[in-house]
Structure 1
């Protein structure tokens, strides 16, 4: 006699609208040797409410309990992650152009001040003057043929470092900023899983 078996792999994160009724298909990939997979995928798992705020977490045990109650003779194997992070989309506000412009201006001024203060701290002007003297034997106050290429190279170096010009990428390699953002998102997801778990909330 063939055993009815289903394999389920939970998605890591999904985004849904407010008051959305989550089914297995929304949070997991399902396969198996049965002919009623669509019924299993349509099984209701969790109803998003106002109490969930912006984020909720569905645990794999919650899904298994629903499946066991609905199909007691079905063998289920849960693969991969054990939790799904559910982001609840609220009504998004339109971007404030004035606020964005002020933030952009503040960041540009702050970056420029940081670069200038760094060059002042390391006496970059004296370094350029000394380098010019070593190469030419002449002392000048403004060695422009060193300072101009250095300034251009500084900008190009930042572009290459971040691997972006606006939305254009130079290659498939992620930039250091993208790696840090990825690590930050991983840590944030782990925090949400620990503190926002739906089963833990119900137990509390």
Structure 2
């Protein structure tokens, strides 16, 4: 009876240009009586000549294994394609650019909140609430407006689950979920796009 190799492609791997990638970098392997040299089979060496993304199909990986180890029976588990992203070293962002972007976002979000409060007449609402609670008219009910303003900031911090680098719990924030879904969509698009290019060749 042939020894059985079970392999599962990883979802995505990041590599540098010119970095040789073998099966152990791209797959999870398991099985009984499997030669350790299987993981050292060379698959590809990424370069930027063909773009930043490379799609690896499980059929090609199985073919490479069977060529060098014909005595193995290869079983595949999981997805049929994986993505290799070729990345050059990323430079640290300049503090001036970070400060300007943060200032722009802070100003824009502040204006959005103020315009929303103007549209819904929040000042009049606060005056009305104070009148209902105390029976007196106050043009600037600061004892209500100050906690309300602090509550908006605290609510945003709790909503995004982050204060600078500190997280309040392990739950992902809505922004992190959206970024994850965005990255998943990009990866799936790149896999489909590369597959179409290969089919046309």
For the aligned pair, the TM-score class normalised by the smaller chain equals: over 0.9
Higher relative contact order (CA 8 A, sep 6+): 1
Of Structure 1 and Structure 2, the greater strand share is in: 1
What does the per-residue CA deviation read over 1:101-121, in whole Å, with 9 as the maximum and x for residues that have no partner?
Answer: 111111111010111001111
Aligned equivalents of 1:55, 1:123: Cα separation in 2 = 51
What does the per-residue CA deviation read over 1:71-106, in whole Å, with 9 as the maximum and x for residues that have no partner?
Answer: 223210111122221111213234222222111111
SS of 1:168's equivalent in the other structure is coil
Q: 1:74 aligns with which of 72, 75, 82?
A: 72
TM-score, structure 1 length as denominator?
A: 0.92
Aligned equivalents of 1:141, 1:20: Cα separation in 2 = 68
Count, aligned residues: 201
Residue 25 (structure 1) aligned with residue 24 (structure 2): yes
- Residue matched to 1:201: 198
- Residue matched to 1:6: 5
After TM superposition, the structure 1 = structure 2 runs for residues 52-201 of structure 1, keeping only pairs within 5 Å, are 52-197=50-195, 200-201=197-198
SS of 2:133's equivalent in the other structure is helix
Structure 2 stretches of 5 or more lacking a match? none
Kept in 1: contact 2:7–2:77 (CA 8 A): yes
- Residue matched to 1:48: 46
Kept in 1: contact 2:17–2:45 (CA 8 A): no
Q: Compared with structure 1, are the counterparts of its residues 201 and 35 closer, same or farther at alpha carbon in structure 2 (3 Å cutoff)?
A: closer
Tell me by how many angstroms 1:164 deviates.
1.0
Aligned equivalents of 1:147, 1:126: Cα separation in 2 = 11
Aligned equivalents of 2:178, 2:89: Cα separation in 1 = 29
**RMSD over aligned Cα, in angstroms?**
1.6
What does the per-residue CA deviation read over 1:28-61, in whole Å, with 9 as the maximum and x for residues that have no partner?
Answer: 111112241x211000111212323222121111
Q: Return structure 1 stretches of 4+ with deviation > 4 angstroms.
A: none
Q: Compared with structure 1, are the counterparts of its residues 175 and 35 closer, same or farther at alpha carbon in structure 2 (3 Å cutoff)?
A: closer
What does the per-residue CA deviation read over 1:121-161, in whole Å, with 9 as the maximum and x for residues that have no partner?
Answer: 11000000111111111111100011011001111111111
SS of 1:169's equivalent in the other structure is coil
